[in-house]
Amino acid sequence: MAKVIIAAGSNLGNRRQNIRQGLRLMNKSGVKIIKNSSYFKNPPAEETAGGEFLNAAVLAETNLEPEPLLALLHEIEKNSGRPQPHKPRKARCLDLDIIYYGNRVIEKPDLKIPHPRRLQRRFVMEPAAEAAPDFRDPILKKTLENISRKNMATVKKSTDLRERLNAVRKSGRKIGFVPTMGAIHEGHLALIRACRKAKLFCVISIFVNPTQFGPAEDYRKYPRNLEKDAKLAEKAGAGLIFAPGVKEMYPAGLQTSVKPAEWFSEELCGKYRPDHYRGVATVVLKLFNLVQPDKAYFGWKDAQQLIMIKMMARDLNFPIEIIGVPTVREPDGLAMSSRNIYLSPAERKAAPALYHTLLQIKNDCEKHKKSLKKTLKKASVCLKKNPFIKLQYLEAVDLSTLENAGKGIRLFPKDETLVAIAAFLGSTRLIDNIFVKM
């Protein structure tokens, strides 16, 4: 038996019924369907007449050789009311194409397999990849999932996001989610890669969320470059980008929000960015509702944010596993951040001192068994002498508060505490942190 992939499309009459009927006839005529894709809506290709298409694909098994299989598909098309031979640009009740026949490559005047125009047609490859993600294209030697990702979509509307994700879910795949504000760098890409490594369909959101910026902060000048971001995300394995505008996310401003516990705004960044975590919690909750992922990925670089999200997911009963990914750094130790581009050359040169200070603290406490409190104090005094660095805080998180609030979730590796730092270099605020074994 050969494994085949057949694409179906219709833009005339009852489109869904036409496709269903065609596939049913195929199934009865010796082409056993193993897996159906969902139905995708697409605008008509090239100058094809008629309205929007509905497209689907199936993975099937058959004993029919390619030519009799093609003849059968033509017969079924004819049955559905499509005249044979085809008139190429006409609207059609049913179009059935052989896209792949096992790993055979056939080059005959009236039969070319794999389908020669498959790669230009997202309306073919997207459903084909859903029906048979691991099927290999015999020419490109890549899986359909890999090929289809090259056509990754960017959607801006929540309705489009839902529609696409419903199709992904129907195909039985689990969804992983990476929320970002864009200006994608290796840190963000590490989250996408972790998601893909877990074999999840990866959705990334790119949204510079106004409600998490204070009035004097950098909302307006925050770097935005969707096209470049999309390319990077796609290369790392993202399957879908959600890039809504502010109106899409907050059509009526912010009437309802999520506020983390009071003590949260008394710790680390919370003290200095009064409404920041409320803005983050609210937007992440909204994104969780829209994407409904199985797992969501956040960087340890923003440790307080990660802890807050873990608590929120627990407190508000989100059935989402929150995964922390280690901080990705520049070769000189500076934690990657979208804000690093604001640094002047002199500030950039000074910036790795934040991480080196954290490393020194870790070393003093773990190797030389010095007291954490004294080490922190000494490091603060030392940093304050650096003319480029205006220290905001250098603290260990209050484990006693966290232990209480963290019931039922693993916040840190065992026996470790988090030492966090925030500092201004010029007008750029940078943060970083490290785990210290106590």
Interface positions with ligand AMP (CB under 6 A): 180-181, 187-188, 190-191, 298-299, 301-302, 325, 327-328, 335-338
Neighbours of 310 (CB within 10 A): 21
**Whole-number minimum distance, CB 187 to ligand AMP, in Å?**
2
Instruction: Tell me which residue has tokens 């804000």.
Output: 339
- Residue 290: CB atoms within 10 A of its CB come to 19
The neighbour count for residue 37, using CB atoms within 10 Å, is 23
Tell me how far, at minimum, the Cβ of 274 lies from ligand AMP, in Å: 18
Return d(Cα 188, Cα 178) in angstroms, integer.
8
For 7, the enclosing helix (H) or strand (E) is: strand 2-10
CA geometry: angle at 223 spanning 221 and 226, to 5°? 135
Nearer to ligand AMP, 55 or 338 (CB): 338
Q: How far is the CB of 338 from ligand AMP (least distance, A)?
A: 5
In the 8-state DSSP scheme, what is residue 114?
S
Smaller CB separation from ligand AMP, 165 or 335: 335
Min. distance of Cβ 363 from ligand AMP in angstroms?
21
Closer CB to ligand AMP, 38 or 337, in the complex:
337
Distance CA 223, CA 338 (A): 7
Is 368 noted as a catalytic residue in this protein? no
CA–CA dist 8, 36 (Å, integer): 11
- Which helix (H) or strand (E) segment is 205 a member of? strand 201-206
By beta-carbon proximity to ligand AMP, the closer residue of 38 and 338 is 338
With tokens 């696409």, the residue in question is 164
Nearest to 158 by CA among 240, 235, 40: 240
Instruction: Please identify, using beta-carbon distances, which residue of 213 and 298 lies nearer to ligand AMP.
Output: 298
Measure the CA–CA gap between 379 and 421, rounded to whole angstroms. Answer: 11
Active-site residue identified among 86, 188, 276, 356: 188
To ligand AMP, the closest distance from the beta carbon of 193 in angstroms equals: 11
CB count, 10 Å around CB of 139? 13
Q: Residues with catalytic annotation?
A: 188
